[in-house]
Structures are given as C-alpha cells and as structure tokens.
Structure 1
Amino acid sequence: MDEVEVVVAHSERATLRVGDVFLKVDADQARIDVEVEAMALVPVPTPEVLWRKPPVLAIAAVPGTVLGRLGEPSTASPAAWAAVGAVIRKLHDTPLPPRLGRARGLDELTAELDVECELLVTNGVLPADLVTRNREVAEAALRPWTPAFTHGDLQIVHVFVDGDEVSGIIDWSEAGPGDPLYDLATLTLGHEEHLDDLVAGYGTDVDLDVIRAWWSLRSLLAIRWLAEHGFDPTAPGCEVDVLKSRM
C-alpha cells in the first residue's frame, strides 16, 4: 500500500499524495470551483481531475519534475525556462474567464500593502529601513494594467518540466483576471538569474522593473502570513532575502 505524504498543510487547506494521486482538501469550495474551471479552460498542460467529493478534489500527478524550489538553485535548463515562458504567454493570451474571480483594484492593493508594511515594522518582524526601501521599489507595480487570464499563484513548485518541455502546471485555485507580470514575478521570485531565459520564451511587452517591483510587493504581503502558517520566510533564498537583495 502506498504511504500518505503530506505535501502541504495549514489552517486553510491541505494536500496529500497517495501514489500518483493528489488529494486536495479545502473547506472553501469556491477555491476548488475556480481550480476545476480554470484547468478546463486553459490551453496549457494541467493535471487530470480524477474525481471530486467536497471538500476533496482528487487529481492525477503530472509527469516530470518541478522547475525548482524557493531557496534552492533551479537545475532546469535555459531552454526549459524559455519553454515555460512560452506556455505562460499562451495562458495570458487566453480570453478572460467570465466567472473566475476578480482583479484587485489598485486602491485595495495599495491599502493592503500599507497596512502590512506598518505591521511588519510595528511588530518588529523586519527593520524599518528594509521595509521602507522595498515599499519604494514596490511602487512601480502599483500602476494600471490590462487584466489577463493569470494563474495567480505561479510559484516555481507549481510548474513541472520534463527535459526542456513543460509537462504540467498545478494549483489553479487563484486563477482569474490579473496582472500578467505578477505571474512572471511569482515564478522568478528568488530566481532572478533565470528571468532573461523566461522572458526570451515569453516574448515582448515585459517591463523588468515592474517584475522586480512585484518581487518586493509579494514578499512584503506574504511574510507575516507565511510565519503565522508554519512557513519560514527567513530561510536562505526566500522572501526576506529577496527583500534584502533590493537594498
């Protein structure tokens, strides 16, 4: 009998692996609805949905290996990173989904960022100068953008490659209208050395300063949540190091 592997678990959701089957347990059925619908709409490789019985979604494992991990060097080739860029471009060129979520407005995002920055300093989580500098860098991301069909949580561990080809993209629960550069920034967070390869495959219309701004913005928003849910944003190469690299 296959062992049960806990892939990720916190108060919001959990993912278990049993052999070649992943079981996603999520009390928020809206997130599962988004995931299933998004995978049916996108023209990119996604896992096969095996069955669904709330609050559990069962999906098949995708072939290949993850593109990389935050805090560790990616061993994927430049060609693989370029292939990922081309697949993400296909996603962003897909017509916007009619029912999947909504894009956060600039005012909402700015207010959330300001609150988070204040809490990081007031609670002594990060030095004030580190927060202030990255808040300044993040400003470049706070501009109008044309919404595209985005993954919404395109972490490097959510992309699988087999050789130089993309074999699957997983975890679509945050999919919906968004800033396409946010997807590119999320994927390259902590892996700046692969940004040029990714963009080579993605194509034109990429403002690298905005991607760098999203690195700061995403990290500032994520650090407190990560710490409160059992993750370590201070680990080498992770969110705190990303912020320090902007100094």
Structure 2
Amino acid sequence: MASVAEVEVVVAHNERTVLRVGDMFLKVDADEARGALEAEAMALAPLPTPDVLWREPHVLALAAVHGAPLARLGQPSTASPTAWSAAGEAVRALHDAPPPPWPGRSLDDLATRLDDECAWLVTNRVLPTDVVTRGRRVAEEALRPRPPVFAHGDLQADHVFVDGDRITGVLDWSEAGPGDALFDLASLTFGHGERLGDVVAGYGADVDLDGVRAWWCWRSLVAIHWLTEHGFDPFAPGCEVDVLRSQV
C-alpha cells in the first residue's frame, strides 16, 4: 500500500490554522481578506516566496520552500553571519521596491495599541509597573513618521528560509503593506540582537539602531497579551519578556 502523507498542525488558534500535508501548506484564515492580501503581496514582492498552488475562500494552499528557518525565537541561531547578511540584503531589495497600493498601519493605531497593551500589563500585574513604564518610554521612540516602504510586516527570523547562505523563501505575508523599514529589521532580529550587525551589513544603508531597539520594545509590550491568551509563553528564555528587560 502506498504511504499516505500525514497532516501536521503547524499553528492553530482562533484566528488562523496552518496545516502541512506532504509538501503543501494549507493556511485557513478567519479573515478572508487577509489571505487575499497575502497572495497579492507575494506576487508583488521581489523576493523568493512560496508558490501559490490554489486559493479558495478562507484557504490558501502554498508549496513548501527548501531550506530551514534562519532562526527560531528562544533558540540560538545556527545560521552563518553570511546568511544573516543575505537576509539583510533581501530586506533591502524589498524596501527598495514600490510599496503595495493598499494602506498600511497608521502611527495613531500603533500608539493606541501600545497604550492599551501597557495598561493591560499593569492592570493585570503581568509585569512590574516600572518595567512597563521604562519599556513604553523606549517604544514610543519607534512611533516617529518615516517614509513608508514595502514592508513585510511580520518578518520574524523563522519566516525567512535559508539553504546554506542563500535565501530560499520568505513566508507569511499577511501583514505586508506600506510601513516602517525599521520595523522589519527589528522583527528579523527580535531575540537575536547579536545578529543585528550582520543584517545591517547586508542591508547596506545607514540604519537607526535606536529605532530598531525601540521597535523591539514595542513588539514585546504589545505581543505579551495575545501570546498568553493563545497558549504561547512570552516568559520563555529569550522570548518577549527577556527581550523587553534587555532593553530597559
């Protein structure tokens, strides 16, 4: 009897489920518009992306890409400095491309989210008030007007796949749109700050490092609530709380 591919649950929560069946990934999204945007963003991006096999309402089928993630949050990266520099070069190519035609997230919305999440952290005593206050002070530096670029919007290191020193694919484009270049650089190096120099070397431009670190704090503060409610642990070594404390 021929072998049957197993169904692997990659991610599962009440907003999105990702399944792997052989060399195909099925992304089931509660928000149909998010799947449509992801497919369009991949078509526009000047980077290697997964092939779209088919799309139906709420479901996007993607081909697997070769290689392995550049890194995973909370784990040491085994990728070479050259691979990290290649990731920086790829991000620069994306940022040099024309921004997509849909609107990005406004600074007012980002500031409101920071306010709300900091209030939740303090009210529920998730973190000491002084840590939240100092982290918020740093994070507010990220919320400065900057020229929008074609931003990935969720460029975590485990969304960038490499084979040796070569970028083979960039995944998860559902947050793509006009945005701050520093946010992408911060997302890529989040929890792997020691690799920031390699990424900047590949990016090949002056980078506001304080702005990157400010986005590290912003992401830490706004993510903790969602993560705890969806079964993830932001207090795990090397994850959101550790990143926040390292900056404050």
The aligned runs of 1:1-247 (5 Å cut-off) are 1-99=4-102, 102-247=103-248
Secondary structure, aligned partner of 1:234: coil
Query: 2:55 aligns to what SS in structure 1?
Result: strand
CA distance in 2, matches of 1:4, 1:212: 39
Count matched residues.
245
Amino acid at match of 2:93: K
CA distance in 1, matches of 2:55, 2:34: 13
SS at match of 1:44: coil
Query: 1:81-124 deviations in whole A, cap 9, x for unaligned?
Result: 0001001101011101113xx22222222222112111101111
Structure 2 residue matching 1:14: 3-state secondary structure: strand
Tell me how far apart the structure 2 counterparts of residues 83 and 63 of structure 1 sit (CA, whole Å). Answer: 16
* C-alpha distance in structure 2 between counterparts of 1:225 and 1:120, whole Å: 11
**Deviation (angstroms), 1:8:** 0.4
Per the TM alignment, residue 205 of structure 1 is displaced from its structure 2 partner at its CA by 2.9
Distance (whole Å) between structure 1 residues aligned to residue 211 and residue 130 of structure 2: 21
For 1:176 and 1:106, locate their aligned partners in 2 and report how far apart those are by CA, in whole Å.
14
2-structure distance, mates of 1:217, 1:113: 7
Q: CA deviation at 1:136?
A: 1.1
> Which amino acid is the alignment partner of residue 166 of structure 1?
I
Aligned equivalents of 1:197, 1:233: Cα separation in 2: 26
Aligned structure 1 segments of 4 or more residues deviating by more than 4 angstroms: none
Per the TM alignment, residue 41 of structure 1 is displaced from its structure 2 partner at its CA by 0.6
Give the 3-state SS of the residue equivalent to 1:245 in structure 2.
helix
Query: What code does the residue aligned with 2:126 have?
Result: V
The CA deviation string for residues 71-90 of structure 1, in whole angstroms up to 9 with x for no partner, is 00000000000001001101
Q: Distance in 2 between matches of 1:106 and 1:123?
A: 26
**Identity over aligned pairs, percent:** 68
Q: State the one-letter code of the partner of 1:140.
A: E
Q: Provide Cα deviations, 1:163-216, integer angstroms capped at 9, x if missing partner.
A: 001000011011001001100001111000000000000011310000000000
The Cα shift of 1:69 comes to: 0.2
Q: 1:131 & 1:57 partners in 2: Cα distance?
A: 38
Distance in 1 (CA, whole Å) between partners of 2:105 and 2:151 is 13
2: distance between equivalents of 1:31 and 1:116? 23
- Normalising by the residue count of structure 1, what TM-score does the alignment of the two structures yield? 0.97
1:144-179 per-position Cα deviation (integer Å, ceiling 9, x unaligned)? 110100000011110000000100001101100100
- What CA distance in whole angstroms lies between the structure 2 residues aligned with 1:109 and 1:158? 22
Q: Find the residue that maps to 2:145 and give its secondary structure.
A: coil
Uncovered stretches (5+) of structure 2, i.e. residues with no partner: none
Return the offset for 1:218. 0.8
